[in-house]
Amino acid sequence: MILLRLLSVLAAGLVLIVAPITLDPLGHGMPGVLALLSLLCTALVAGSFVFVAYAAPRMRRRPAERKLGGMLLLIPAVFALALLVKGKDAGLLCAGGLLLGFTVVLLANVLFPDALGHSRTRLRGRPARVEPSML
């Protein structure tokens, strides 16, 4: 789970860095409303990954937070599917595929935490060790 949390933070950072580069690679500028909407969507996608990374330990115990995390992870999945459907550039298609693949793995881990073999049971404490000199 710690690896997926770290990868989630990395994905949020990459979304914030790569998305503006791919939206206008030539740097000509975009209309104000389109630029604002694209930055808002980018922040929403990155925020969903950050929420999952931050709240992952609590999501195992609280079903309401697990549902919220699942709903927030549907946002990058929808955006990645939109990139795959509407995209024409090979780099954009590759980024959309990687985003969709990682989102599906993270979504499966959030919704079904026991599927990866993790158990919710706590380890039992070891019995106190008796020193031979105390016998």
DSSP state at residue 76: H
Mean pLDDT (the chain, rounded): 76
Other beta carbons within 10 Å of 31: 8
DSSP state at residue 89: S
Name the token pair of 49. Answer: 């990954």
By the 8 A CB rule, do 60 and 113 touch? yes
Name the pLDDT band for 65 (thresholds 50, 70, 90).
confident
| The three-state (H, E, C) secondary structure of 26-67, written as one string | CCCCCCHHHHHHHHHHHHHHHHHHHHHHHHHHHHCCCHHHHH
Helix, strand, coil percentages (3-state) for the chain, rounded to 5, are 75, 0, 25
pTM score above 0.85: no
Name the token pair of 135. Answer: 């016998």
Q: Which amino acid is at 24?
A: D
pLDDT at 123 over 80: no
Residue whose entry in the numeric block shows the structure tokens 């039992």: 124
CA 95 – CA 34 distance, rounded (Å): 20
By the 8 A CB rule, do 99 and 80 touch? yes
| pLDDT value of position 57 | 77
| pLDDT value of position 25 | 59
